[in-house]
Amino acid sequence: EAGVTQSPTHLIKTRGQQATLRCSPISGHTSVYWYQQALGLGLQFLLWYDEGEERNRGNFPPRFSGRQFPNYSSELNVNALELEDSALYLCASSRDRATVYEQYFGPGTRLTVT
Amino acid sequence: GQQVMQIPQYQHVQEGEDFTTYCNSSTTLSNIQWYKQRPGGHPVFLIQLVKSGEVKKQKRLTFQFGEAKKNSSLHITATQTTDVGTYFCAGPENTDKLIFGTGTRLQVFP
């Protein structure tokens, strides 16, 4: 069974630009979660999508947004990039809303803002 | 909001020594999860504990959920270099998201 995949692996942007990160969940999983992990720090919850709808979001400004497509893949968009947005962005999936606690993570996208 | 703290933040041990990380929540948890993140890697789900006082073992790893369901621990017996990484506990906030702990970074010296 293929795991969660994310693209790109690395992304370098300049301040003020927009970044788009992509995630494909494990086949059969309908829930997708996004986390931000700044260097050496813990995971901060960003967004949760299930069945195409945003179910919850963390304490991040509106310039962090995303969506989930009919095939359950997801996209995270970060507008007006700031230097402090540099981090590893992790996507995770779970089988459905009832299994929110057992999440499988992808390898992440390393975003660097210069 | 809910907070999940872990101690210690860092732990360096000699190979063969034991290691324990503690997880404390500001609120009672319905369940708790443990994840391991190898250096340069992504978090990997290890286990979920649900019952008060529950103890589960995975080879050299022993996981415990406190009686009050506000704390948990992960104990590794006779550490190996393959145990290196950061261990995170995670607890649910309401029913719709996980709050990850601050993590404990384990370094094992051969």
Which residues from B are below 8 Å from A when comparing CB atoms?
31, 33, 35, 41-45, 48, 88, 90, 92, 95-103
Nearest residue, CB atoms, A45 vs list B42, B97, B102: B97
Give per-10-residue mean pLDDT for chain B (110 aa): 89 97 93 94 93 96 96 98 96 80 94
User: What does the DSSP assignment read for A37-102?
Assistant: E-TTS--EEEEEEETTEEEEE-S--TTEEEEE-TTS-EEEEE-S--GGG-EEEEEEEESSGGGTTS
Q: A36-65: per-residue pLDDT in tens?
A: 999 877 899 999 999 999 999 998 999 999
Find the angle CA(B101)-CA(B107)-CA(B110) to the nearest 5 degrees.
Answer: 155
How many CB pairs below 8 A link A and B?
A: 52
Question: CA–CA separation, B84 vs B41, rounded Å?
Answer: 12
| Interface with A, mutate which of B42, B102, B105 (most A CBs under 10 A) | B42
Q: A62-74: per-residue pLDDT in tens?
A: 999 999 999 999 9
Question: CA–CA separation, B64 vs A93, rounded Å?
Answer: 25
CB contact under 8 A, A45 and B101: no
Q: B54-76: per-residue pLDDT in tens?
A: 999 999 999 999 999 999 999 99
